[in-house]
């Protein structure tokens, strides 16, 4: 490492694990993350990731990994939905391991097999969790780190404030914790690191980037929305997720029916409905009525996002602001 790099790197347990300059993860986002985005993030010194389901058929996913590897030598990650209804998960895993992808992020299910097989080839596994129960299970299974998904995150959000969740998991589970939920700038990053996080897991901020392959309408909605416009609803795919209030979202019907209310009183039924709806939605074809194609998911950090920038600039701004916030703390 050169003297220059040494003075500007931000060292945490996460950046050490992957030999990264900045402990910032551009979070996997369904229908948002792209090869271009992953490569730009990696080249800017952070960790680029994408959901395996973004590329279908599976051969295209394999090509995407190969393309990333041909364009950057830096570490990157993929996200696998490890829920039973994801019929592609086995292939997603096999290909990721064959290609020696450095990081796998698991969400929505049991990461046991992923961890077991990944460790045979030196791939690290971070698991999405929203509370201590899942965090402990992931730790017992040998996870290399956790993603603490707090309330206010884009996509499927947790229910606990990141202010409580991050230090709680850091204290209870001795693993590096990446903080997810409404981090869009250097102040958010400084807050997460103060709470003990080893990485900032940032999604929504990168939707308003030059590299995000989403409609201009979506990017503009990110810029014009306020935290008050973010609605938490399970109506889109069965799991509570955060979305921008739009006509399309309201058309989904945001009120809970009496039948749903009764069913949701049973934890097992609620979980079963949620898992099957979520997997169906992620696997849905173009004819599905509501999906991440028709409604815009975003976290509560939207109110702080001011411009559509190249990802390298977003990362540089975050790092500079982080340093100045840190220096000015009372
Ligand atoms: C549009 C969108 C799609 C997402 N898709 C996925 C996904 O496919 N898999 C996943 O694990 N998380 C997904 N997430 C959650 C992110 O990985 C991350 O946890 C979240 O964006 C962090 O909160 P923030 O958006 O407030 O920064 C998605 C988030 C958004 C905004």
Fold of 3-213+306-328: TIM Barrel (3.20.20)
pLDDT of residue 279: 56
pLDDT of residue 108: 87
103 or 238, greater pLDDT: 103
- The closest of 8, 3, 107, 2 to 50, measured between CA atoms, is 107
Q: Which atom of ligand 1 is nearest to the CA of 282?
A: 8
Compute the distance from residue 219 Cα to the ligand 1 centre, in Å: 15
Residue 266 has φ and ψ, to the nearest 5°, of -90, 125
The residue whose CA is least distant from atom 5 of ligand 1 is 29
Helix extents (H) in the chain = 3-8, 13-18, 35-43, 58-71, 89-98, 112-120, 132-140, 162-172, 186-194, 216-224, 247-251, 258-263, 267-283, 311-328
Instruction: Kindly indicate the confidence band of residue 293, based on its pLDDT and cuts at 50, 70 and 90.
Output: confident
Pairing assessment for the beta strands 241-244 and 230-233 based on DSSP bridges: antiparallel
Tell me 297's DSSP state.
B
The first and second tokens of residue 101, run together, are 């992808």
Compute the distance from residue 51 Cα to the ligand 1 centre, in Å: 9
pLDDT of residue 239: 83
Pinpoint the residues of the chain covered by CATH 3.20.20.70. Answer: 3-213+306-328
pLDDT, mean of residues 5-9: 62
Cα angle 299, 300, 306 (rounded to 5 degrees) comes to 95
Instruction: Note the pLDDT tens digit of each residue in 27-41.
Output: 999 999 999 999 999
Which residue of 31, 48, 107, 154 sits with most ligand 1 atoms within 8 Å of its CB, as the best mutation to test the pocket?
Answer: 154
pLDDT, mean of residues 61-86: 96
Mean per-residue pLDDT over the chain, rounded: 90
Kindly report which listed range (85-99, 150-164, 178-192, 287-301) carries the lowest average pLDDT score.
287-301
Compute the distance from residue 265 Cα to the ligand 1 centre, in Å: 27
Asked if residue 167 has pLDDT above 60, the reply is: yes
Q: Which atom of ligand 1 is nearest to the CA of 292?
A: 1
pLDDT of residue 276: 57
Ligand 1 interacting residues, C-beta cut-off 6 A: 27-30, 32, 51, 79, 107, 128, 149, 153-155, 180-183, 201-204, 292, 297-299, 301
């Amino acid at each position: 490492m050169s003297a220059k790099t040494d003075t500007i790197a931000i060292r945490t347990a996460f950046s050490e694990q992957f030999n990264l300059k900045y402990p910032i993860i551009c979070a996997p986002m369904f229908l948002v993350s792209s090869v271009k985005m992953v490569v730009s993030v990696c080249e800017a010194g952070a960790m680029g990731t994408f959901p395996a389901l973004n590329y279908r058929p599976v051969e295209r996913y394999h090509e995407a990994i190969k393309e990333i590897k041909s364009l950057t030598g830096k570490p990157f990650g993929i996200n696998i939905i490890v829920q039973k209804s994801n019929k592609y998960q086995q292939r997603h895993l096999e290909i990721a391991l064959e290609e020696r992808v450095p990081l796998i992020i698991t969400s929505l299910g049991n990461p046991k097999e992923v961890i077991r097989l990944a460790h045979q080839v030196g791939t690290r596994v971070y698991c999405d969790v929203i509370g201590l129960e899942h965090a402990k299970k992931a730790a017992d299974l040998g996870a290399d780190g956790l993603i603490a998904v707090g309330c206010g995150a884009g996509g499927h959000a947790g229910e606990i404030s990141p202010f409580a969740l991050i230090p709680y998991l850091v204290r209870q589970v001795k693993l590096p914790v990446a903080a997810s939920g409404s981090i869009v700038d250097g102040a958010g990053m400084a807050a997460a690191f103060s709470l003990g996080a080893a990485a900032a897991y940032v999604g929504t901020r990168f939707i308003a980037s030059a590299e995000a392959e989403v409609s201009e309408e979506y990017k503009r909605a990110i810029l014009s929305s306020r935290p008050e416009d973010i609605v938490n609803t399970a109506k889109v795919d069965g799991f509570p997720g955060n979305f921008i209030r739009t006509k399309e979202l309201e058309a989904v019907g945001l009120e809970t029916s009496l039948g749903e209310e009764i069913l949701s009183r049973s934890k097992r039924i609620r979980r079963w409905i949620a898992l099957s709806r979520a997997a169906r939605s992620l696997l849905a074809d173009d004819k599905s009525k509501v999906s991440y194609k028709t409604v815009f998911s975003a976290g509560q950090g939207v109110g702080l996002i001011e411009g559509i920038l190249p990802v390298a600039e977003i990362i540089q701004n975050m790092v500079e602001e982080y340093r100045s916030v840190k220096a000015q703390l009372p």
